[in-house]
Structure 1
Amino acid sequence: MSKQTPLRRRMRSRDPGEEHRAATPLELLFDLCFVAAVGQAAVQLHHGLAEGHYLPTVAGFVMVFFAIWWAWMNFTWFASAYDTDDMPYRLLTLLQMGGVLVLAAGVPATFHDYDFRVVTFGYVVMRVAMIAQWLRAAAEHPEGRTCALRYAGGIAVVQVGWLLRLLLPHPYGEIGFVLLAAAELAVPAFAERKLQTAWHPHHIAERYSLFTIIVLGEVVLAVTAAMQENVADGGWSPGLLEIGVGGLLMIFAMWWIYFEHSPVKHLSDTLRGTLTWGYSHIFVFASVAAVGAGLEVAIDADAHKAHIGDVAAALTVAVPLAVYLLLVVLLQSRYSESGRIQALIAAAGSVLLLATSLLAPAVGVSLTVLLLGVLMALLLAVGLSAQPKPVTADD
C-alpha cells in the first residue's frame, strides 16, 4: 500500500550516508521540464548555425543554456540535502517547473530579437522558488541555518541584478551577463565556506547521469524528426543513412564514455573538487545538445538546405563532439588509474575529430559525419584497451 504525501513535515538535513538513495519521480518530472527548454535552445542553435549566424547564435545559446543548467543544478544539490517530499516542497518544485516552461517559451525571442525579458522572468521565478526553499531550511534546520541564509541572501541579490540587466543596452547587457553569471557561480562557494550542506554523493552522481541520458535522448528525438522531414520531402538517400549511422555511433560512444567511471568515491574529497566537477557539467550537457543541433545542420547541408559550406557544417558536429570527449575524459582522469593515458587519448582524439571535418569538401558532409561516428567508436575502443585489466582470483 502506497504512503500518502504528508501535508507538512519538518525540513531536516538528510543523511549523506543513507542507503538506497535514488532519484525520485518528482525529480525525473523536473528533469523532463528542463529538457524541454534544452530542446528549444538546441532548435535555435540548429537554425542559427545553418544560416551561418555563428557568433550571435552561439552567444545566445550559451546565455540561455547557462540559465537552464544553473537553475537545474541548484535544485538538484538542494534536493539531495533537504528533500522532505511534503506538500510545500512539491508546490515550490512545481513553481520551478513552471518557471522553466516560461523560460522555454521565451527562447525563440532571445535568438530572433535578442529579447531576454521572458527568459529572465522564467529564470527569476525559478530562483525565487529556491530562495523560499532555502529560507524554509534556515527556519527548520538550525544546524545549517548560516549556510542556508547565505544561499538565500546571495541568490536574492543576484536576481535583482538579472532584472536590472534588462535595462542595459548593447554591449553592456553582455558585460552584465558575464558579471552576474560569475556572481551566481560564487554563491555556493560563499555559502559553504565553513559549513557544507549534507548532499548525498550517490544521489548527485545519479542525478547528473540521468540528466545526461535525457539530453542524449533529446538528441535522438531531434535528429529522428529531422530525418523524417527529409524522408517526407525526398525519400531515403545514402547521405541520410550515413548521417543516421554516424550519429548513432556518436551517441552510443558518448554514453559509454560518460558511464565508464563513477565519480561517487571522489565527489566529496574537497569543496573545490566538488564544485569543479559540478560546474564543468554545463559544458558536458551543452556539448551533448550541440551535437544534436550539429547533426541537424549536417542533414540540412546534405539536402542543400543549409547556407554554409561543407567544412562549416561538419564542424558543427565535430567541435561539440571534441569538447565532450576531452572534458568528460579529463573529469574522469582524476579517479582513474589510467587517467593520464586516457587524457592523452582524448586530446589526440579531439584533434582528429576536428581534422576529419576538413575532409567534407572531398567526401561530402554525410560521409564525414559517418567517419566522425566511426572515429568516436575507435577512440572508445582504444580507451577501453588502455585501461588496466582487473585482477581476478585466477591471476
Structure 2
Amino acid sequence: MFTKLKAIIRKEAIILLRDKIGLSILFLMPMVLIFVMTIIQDAAFRSINESSIPIVFVNNDKDSLGDMVEQGLRNNELCKYYDSINGKPATLETARQAVADGKFLLGIVVPQNATKAIRENVSQLIDESINPTEAAAAIQGMKDSVEIIILIDPVTKKSFISSITSALREFISEVKTKIMFETFSEQIAEVIPEGGKKPGNTFNRSQIFRYSEEYASKNNSAIIPNAVQHNVPAWTIFAMFFIAIPLCGSIMKEKSEGSIFRLHTMPTSYLLLMQGKVIVYLIVGLIQFLLMLCVGLYILPLFGLPPLVMGDSFSGILVLTLATSLAATGYGVLVGTLANTEQQGAILGSLSVLLLSALGGIWVPTYVMSKTMRNISEISPLNWALEGYYNLFLRNDGLSSVLPATGKLLAFFIITIAIAMTVNKMKRKI
C-alpha cells in the first residue's frame, strides 16, 4: 500500500510541476493580492490617521468659543488646519467656494457674537434659577443654540463628519460650562463680597476625565490591529482554497484522458487515489502559507508598512494551517468529483471559492455585515479559519483558542471526502 501511495504522490507531483502557469497562479497571485490590498487599505488608514484631512476654519467670533474651536482643530490629529485661502484670511464665501472646488474636505465657520449669545443664554438661565418670576419674560425670547456652519465636500466620509460635529459639540459645551462657572462665581461674589476668592482660571487648568485607548486581549498583549494583520491571514486562506481549481483540473484531466478508468481497473481504492492528491496539495498549501508569511514579515515592511506580528503560539499556527489546507484540499476533491467537464470544474471551483470568501469575511469584514449575513457567514470554512488566525495574530491567544475552528475544518475535510467517494461510486455504477 505504501508503494502505491508513493507512486500516486509522485504522479501528482509530476503533473503539478509540469503546469508552470498553474503554479505561478497558485503562488504569485496571492502574494500580489496581499501586497496590493494591504497597500490600498493602509493608504486609506493613513489618510485618516496622519493628519491629512484638510479643513478651512473661519473665526468670526473672535472670542472664547471661536478661540477654543480654533485651538482644538489645530491640535486635532485628524485634520490639517487652514485659516487662509490663497494667502488671504478665509471668509464664509471664499471657504464655501474652496470646499466646492475640492481644495478642502470641510469648512467650519463660527458666526459673529457666538460666545456673546452663549453668555447671554447662561446669564438668563442663572437669573431664572435665582429670580424665576422676573426672568420668565426674558426667557421667552432667549436663543437656545449657536449655529455653526459646516461646509462639506460630497466626497467626505460620513464617519469623519460625525467625529468633527461631535468635537464641536464638546467645544460648545465646555465654553458654556466655563461661562456658567464664571457667572455663578460673580453672583456669589456680589452676594458675599468678602466671602472668598474667585476661582479665576482654575476651570481651564482642571481636567476631570482623561482617556486612554487599550486593545482588549486575554494576556495583555501589545498587538495593534492594522492592514497587515488583517490582510495576510485573509488572503492566505483565500490562496489555500484557490487550489481547488488546479486540483479539480487534475481530476478532470484524468477523466478526459481516460487514465482514471485504467486506475479503477487496478486493485487500488478511490480513497487511496485521492490520498495522493491530498498529500501533494496539502504540501502546496503549506508552501503557500510560508510564502505569505514571508511577504508579511519581510516584503511589506520595505514599503513602509508594519511587519506581521504572528503572536506567540506557533503550535496553534501549525495546527490551524494544517487543518485549513486539508479543508481546502478536500473541497477541491469534491468539486473535481462533482464536475463532469473541465469547464464545469473551473467555473464551479472559482465561483464557489469567491462566494465562500465573500461570505467568510475575506473581501468584506463580517462586522460591517447585517446580523443575518453575519449568521450566514458562519457556514463558510474560510470564516472559521480567518477567526482562528485572528485569535492568534490579533488577540495573541494560544492553541486552545483555535481548537474549535480546527475541529470544524477537519470535519469539513472528512465530510467533503466522504461525499466525493459517494458521488464517485454513483457515477461508476451509471
TM-score of the superposition, structure 2-length normalised? 0.27
TM-score of the superposition, structure 1-length normalised? 0.29
Structure having the higher Rg? 2
More strand by share: 2
More helix by share: 1
